[in-house]
Amino acid sequence: MTRAKIIGLGAYAPERILSNHDLEKMVDTTDEWIFSRTGIRERRIAATGEDTSDMCVNAAAMAFESSGLAASDIDLIIAATVTPDYRLPSTSCMIQKKIKAVNSATMDVVAACAGFIHGLSIAQAYIATGVYRNIMIFGAEKLSSITDYEDRNTCVLFGDGAGAAILTAADDDSGILSTYLKSDGNLDRLLHIPGGGTNKPYGANGNYDRKETLLRMSGNEVFKYAVRHMGDASMRVIKDAGLSPDDIDLLVPHQANIRIIKATADRLGMPQEKVFMNIEKFGNTSAASVPLALHDAVQQGRIKKGDLVLSVAFGGGLTWGAAVIRW
Ligand SMILES: CC(C)(COP(=O)(O)OP(=O)(O)OC[C@H]1O[C@@H](n2cnc3c(N)ncnc32)[C@H](O)[C@@H]1OP(=O)(O)O)[C@@H](O)C(=O)NCCC(=O)NCCS
């Protein structure tokens, strides 16, 4: 079967920095608490009027440059986001318009922090079956638009950003070796936005409570499931690729919390030097987190040609997934 390989990566983080010290002035928290519990020092916040698709356009420019492809070469755009520009049309359509990818189909994926991994799996399937050749995946979020900056349990965690990857049919032994996706909708209440959808429309029956349109989370519960499922998903893709954890050169996990990342690495028996983290700078950027981390890892020379990379993510839904890639 034809494998899909990543031939270009791009990343964008908005200019404005929201530091832990800034948050100390907004809610009852401290830099020490946030850093020791999460590993986060600062996160980026998009400007007013800077939409999710705008951030994607910036990431796309970098991905085109590194891939050597042009927008007109793209057959399919997948946009993973829970913070779309509009409810209709899709964010992938907005990106298509802005980057002028006139020959592409588009689709959005709503799988929260696991969205980019879902994109990898979809791209792999389409490329393997020859339906599409060049696929562009975006993981992008303007989480500041759904964050309650009066809730110290959540507002210290999240940030904005966008990452892009261009995949094409591999002509060598590199590419995606295995992927795994799973969800558990029974755990929907652990991480959710109660209002604004058909269940509780904003404005209907006098419901104008903006807080209902902001993210709520049971942090402790999410933490436990994250550790369990990220470990299990990782083991599964490693096995499906015919490998053992020792073979993996670098773990590039979803940047949710340094303690979740360390627990996942421990379950795999992977030493810290084989784990990539940039959570300190960006916080949890949901679907943008994995491509931002992959991009940084390549830029820093932590991923080289031929390396075996494991990526794993977990998020609201609940959803989770993992992929093993030979670079
Ligand atoms: C949110 C998270 C950092 C909280 O860390 P924790 O060690 O579980 O902390 P707890 O929730 O047990 O809270 C401990 C105490 O700190 C308090 N606290 C919570 N946020 C705080 C903050 N920003 N500053 C100071 N204190 C805070 C709590 O109120 C609680 O106080 P109490 O004992 O008086 O009630 C952690 O649960 C987490 O990262 N969960 C996963 C979140 C995640 O990744 N979500 C996205 C999915 S990808």
Task: Say what the pLDDT of residue 1 is.
Answer: 83
154 CA to centre of ligand 1 in angstroms: 8
Same domain for 207 and 132, yes or no, is no
Q: What is the pLDDT of residue 205?
A: 82
What is residue 212's three-state secondary structure? helix
The 10 Å Cβ neighbour count of residue 126 is 19
Q: In this structure, are 268 and 237 located in the same domain?
A: yes
pLDDT at 65: 97
One DSSP character per residue, 64-128 reads HHHH---GGG-SEEEEE-SS-S-SSS-HHHHHHHHHT-TT-EEEEE--GGGHHHHHHHHHHHHHH
What pLDDT is stored for residue 160 in this prediction? 98
Report pLDDT for 167. Answer: 98
Q: What is the pLDDT of residues 151-181, one digit of tens each?
A: 999 999 999 999 999 999 999 999 999 999 9
The residue whose C-alpha atom lies closest to atom 39 belonging to ligand 1 is 257
CB-based contact 251:270 (threshold 8 Å): yes
Catalytic residues: 113, 254, 284
Q: Which residue has the higher pLDDT, 138 or 208?
A: 138
Which of 171, 190, 212 is the endpoint of a domain?
Answer: 171
Q: What is the band of 204 on the pLDDT scale with cuts at 50, 70, 90?
A: confident
- Same domain for 213 and 261: yes
| Rg of the chain in Å (alpha carbons) | 19
User: Residues 251, 107: one domain?
Assistant: no
- Decide: helix, strand or coil at residue 18: strand
Contacts of residue 291, Cβ cutoff 8 Å, sequence gap at least 6:
9, 11, 59, 116, 137, 138, 139, 162, 163, 164, 165
221 burial class (0-12, 13-18, 19+ CB within 10 angstroms)? middle
192 lines ligand 1 (CB under 6 A): no
The residue whose C-alpha atom lies closest to atom 44 belonging to ligand 1 is 256
Q: How far apart are CA 142 and CA 165, in angstroms?
A: 18
Q: What is the pLDDT of residue 93?
A: 98
Bridge-based pairing of strands 308-315 and 319-326 is antiparallel
220 in the same domain as 93: no
CA 37 to ligand 1 center in whole angstroms: 7
pLDDT in tens, 52-79: 999 999 999 999 999 999 999 999 999 9
Q: Are residues 195 and 293 in the same domain?
A: yes
Out of 139, 171, 203, a domain closes at 171
pLDDT of residue 320 exceeding 90, the answer is: yes
- Mean per-residue pLDDT over the chain, rounded: 97
Domains identified in the chain, total number: 2
pLDDT at 122: 98
Domain span at residue 12 reads 4-171
What pTM value is reported for the model? 0.97
pLDDT tier for residue 247 given thresholds of 50, 70 and 90? very high
